[in-house]
Amino acid sequence: MGFFAKLFGQSNQKELEHVSIKLAVIYYSSTGTNYQMAKWAEEGGKAAGAEVKVLKVPELAPEAAIASNPAWKAHLEATSDVPEVTLDDLEWADAIIFSAPTRFGNVPAQVKQFLDTTGGLWATGKLANKVVSAMSSASNAHGGQEATILSIYTTMYHWGAIVAAPGYTDPLLFASGGNPYGTSVTVDQEGNMQENVEEAAKYQAKRTVQVAESLKKGNQ
Ligand SMILES: Cc1cc2nc3c(=O)[nH]c(=O)nc-3n(C[C@H](O)[C@H](O)[C@H](O)COP(=O)(O)O)c2cc1C
């Protein structure tokens, strides 16, 4: 602060205002795994001070396919009150975490369909600088979780989003479930997670919020 500014109580250094981050946790889940991961991310985001919305990607599968799998049907019914994601939610969010199961080493069609509706927002620059990260699950330990996460990031790069992958930025990432690309888990046929990734998912949400905060402060 300069002498005259001190004298007159003025600062030429801009006071940084507290910024509040809006986090959208967007998931698709047939049998509940990615819903649980989204809920952990919600907790992590809230603990980091963000306003959080958990939103599901609309189901597209035919009724008959859903009915043929009791766990799928039960999960859809149990989460019927979770709001479906809209394009307005993407515009609202400063930060976005996606969680999606692996389907043949890629994102489910439901997620791709939703991403493919974002062209209008993309064309008007409204997705640029969103801070994003992604999580996934698969039945096999090496069944394509990372490929799914990277597929989501490919779309994010086109958005001009800023990918806040966890890397190895915290010691807990070296423990079970830590994945530098994004939290990933293996789930057995009964739907039991084979690794405990709760803390990794919460940490990923915290980091995503913190990166978004830094960016927003920098733009003040
Ligand atoms: C059509 C289809 C394709 C799948 N492809 C894979 C795969 O490539 N690798 C794998 O390990 N698991 C695969 N799975 C298993 C799912 O990834 C697993 O059921 C999912 O991660 C569970 O997540 P959810 O409970 O959130 O639905 C596939 C499942 C389906 C129905």
Report the CATH number that the domain containing residue 64 is assigned in CATH: 3.40.50.360
Within-domain flag for 13: no
- Dist. CA 140–CA 27, nearest whole Å: 20
Q: Helix 33-47 vs helix 198-218: angle between axes, to the nearest 10 degrees?
A: 50
Give the model's pLDDT for residue 3.
46
Give the model's pLDDT for residue 15.
64
Ligand 1, atom nearest to 185 Cα: 21
Give the model's pLDDT for residue 122.
98
Could you tell me what percentage of the chain is helix, strand and coil, using 3-state DSSP and rounding each to the nearest 5?
40, 15, 40
What is the distance in A from the centroid of ligand 1 to the CA of 30?
Answer: 9
pTM of the model: 0.93
Test site for ligand 1: of 102, 151, 189, 195, most ligand atoms within 8 A of the Cβ: 102
Burial of 48 (0-12, 13-18, 19+ CB in 10 A): buried
Test site for ligand 1: of 27, 104, 146, 189, most ligand atoms within 8 A of the Cβ: 104
Count of the separate structural domains present in the chain? 1
Ligand 1, atom nearest to 140 Cα: 11
What is the distance in A from the centroid of ligand 1 to the CA of 178?
Answer: 20
Give the model's pLDDT for residue 10.
53
- Dist. CA 108–CA 112, nearest whole Å: 7
Within-domain flag for 154: yes
Name the residue with the closest Cα to ligand 1, atom 7: 104
ipTM: 0.99
One-letter amino acid at 147 equals: A
Within-domain flag for 24: yes
Domain that holds residue 176: 19-218
Give the model's pLDDT for residue 1.
44
Q: Mean pLDDT in each 10-residue stretch from start to end of the chain (220 residues)?
A: 49 69 98 98 98 98 96 97 98 98 98 98 98 98 97 98 96 84 96 95 98 92
Within-domain flag for 83: yes
**Whether residue 140 has its Cβ less than 6 Å from ligand 1:** yes
Within-domain flag for 150: yes
Within-domain flag for 1: no
Give the model's pLDDT for residue 176.
63
The helix (run of H) or strand (run of E) holding residue 26 is strand 22-27
**Whether residue 177 has its Cβ less than 6 Å from ligand 1:** no
Ligand 1, atom nearest to 186 Cα: 21
Within 10 Å of residue 75's Cβ, how many Cβ atoms? 20
Give the model's pLDDT for residue 16.
65
Within-domain flag for 5: no
Name the residue with the closest Cα to ligand 1, atom 3: 103
Within-domain flag for 6: no
